[in-house]
Amino acid sequence: MPESLVLITRRIPPAGLALLDDAGARTRVLEPDPDRIVDRAALIGAVQHAAVLLTQLTERIDREVMEASAGLRGIATMAVGYNNIDMDAANAMGIPVSNTPGVLTETTADLTFALLLGIARRIREADAYMRAGKYRIWGPELLLGTDVGTGPDGSRKTLGIIGYGRIGRAVARRARGFDMDIIAYRSGRTGSADDGTPYVSLDDLLTRSDFVSIHAPLNHDTRHLIGARELKLMRDSAFLINVGRGEIVDERALVAALRSATIAGAALDVYEYEPAMADGLADCHNVLLAPHIGSASVATRDRMAAIAARNALAHLRGERAPEVVNPAVYDSAAYRARLESMS
């Protein structure tokens, strides 16, 4: 029988560790080096002694990992997405899984708009230009970019948002401050959202938008939602921003579109085969790249760690986790059998 150990796959911010320590939980951080990937064999070996697994999106938590601990009471991930966890296996084995939703909405929306502004106004190129000592004299054609707001001619730009949930709506609020027109695509939705934003088809959104921002969840229907065909529908003056999931965009097709100027540019915080990038992506001058920092503010990451810790403590005590993503598991025979085996 595993001990009452919370196994933390990789180091989390102090706010989460403090909560676990204050509650008297016994913890072990498997990989304390923030720049190293967790060794899978070490993970499977360590989880044998764990009652709760506190993981991050960088680890693949499949049936093999779950079966390594006969007394695993729950899995807490310090992320909103949980595509790295085999939910079919967790449900079949009676294992509750929890995440950290809501807390990163505003921070991620901030980063989205920072990327949008950055690629439109060529901030990365301007920074490199200054650092290289190339700035000799101001000129009227130096690093010309694209207006995000109405600009001198008063024409409004259109922002198309793919995935109009919490983060998509937060991005829309920021865009309205720039007098942008907003349209949205959300599978199965027609008419308008409750804030008045019109729902349109994906093809309509792509053809009408000056900026396309992706915030949809990753599932069977959204993988490669944006491929070569969809990129060709976009205007050659349009920009693609992805702060959702890397696999929603066919990254090879995106490289081809950037090289051929099929679209004006892209700004990415997530990647199809993260942390790797598609060949040629880093060489494109018209792309702005960030290393998955959508939620990377001190306050937000602290809050995420605290939520993950509270979920982990609930799993440890056999209580309903505050942010469980598979609540039906608590009523399953598999969950009851798992609890009985631990008593």
Angle between helices 14-22 and 298-317 (to 10 degrees): 30
Residues in the chain: 343
The question of whether 131 is a catalytic residue gets the answer no
Chain-centre distance for alpha carbon 236: 27
Would strands 158-162 and 287-289 be described as parallel, antiparallel, or unpaired?
Answer: unpaired
| CA–CA dist 64, 51 (Å, integer) | 16
List the alpha helices (DSSP H) in the chain. Answer: 14-22, 40-47, 63-67, 87-93, 105-120, 123-131, 166-176, 202-208, 228-233, 251-259, 298-317, 333-342
Q: Quote the CA–CA distance of 32 and 89 in Å, as a whole number.
A: 28
Residue 323: active-site member: no
Asked if 212 and 235 count as a contact pair (C-beta separation under 8 A), the reply is no
The residue annotated as part of the active site, out of 245, 303, 310, 315, is 245
Residues in contact with 91: Cβ distance below 8 Å, sequence separation at least 6, in sequence order: 326, 328, 329, 332, 334
Please tell me the distance from the alpha carbon of residue 323 to that of residue 96, in angstroms, as a whole number.
10
Q: Which of 26, 208, 252, 292 is catalytic?
A: 292
User: Which amino acid is it at 79?
Assistant: A
The SS3 assignment for 11 reads coil
Annotated catalytic residue within 64, 125, 274, 319: 274
Q: Is 3 a catalytic residue?
A: no
Contact (CB, 8 A) for 54 and 299: no
CA distance 230 to 207: 9
Residue type, 150: T
**Phi-psi map region of 244: left, alpha, beta (phi>0 left; psi -120 to 50 alpha):** alpha
- Which positions are catalytic? 245, 274, 292
